[in-house]
Amino acid sequence: MNAASASTAASTVIGYARWSTIGQTLEQQTEALTAAGAGKIFDDVMSGARDDRPGFTECMRYVREGGTP
């Protein structure tokens, strides 16, 4: 396996879901992210008005330099 295919094989699609209203469910969002190829999903259950989102913070720490948002 060459370096390019090793890099592709090791890559993971990262997802982030945030649930804050009755019309949304975390399950719907995570299913959609999984269907889109997300291999790792971070989430928060809180209002979008809050700026302290621990799941989002953890997601951003996990994403490595050179990744594609």
The catalytic site residues sit at 20
Nearest alpha-carbon partner for 20 in 63, 61, 55: 55
What's the rounded Cα separation, in Å, for the pair 17 and 46?
11
What's the rounded Cα separation, in Å, for the pair 41 and 13?
9
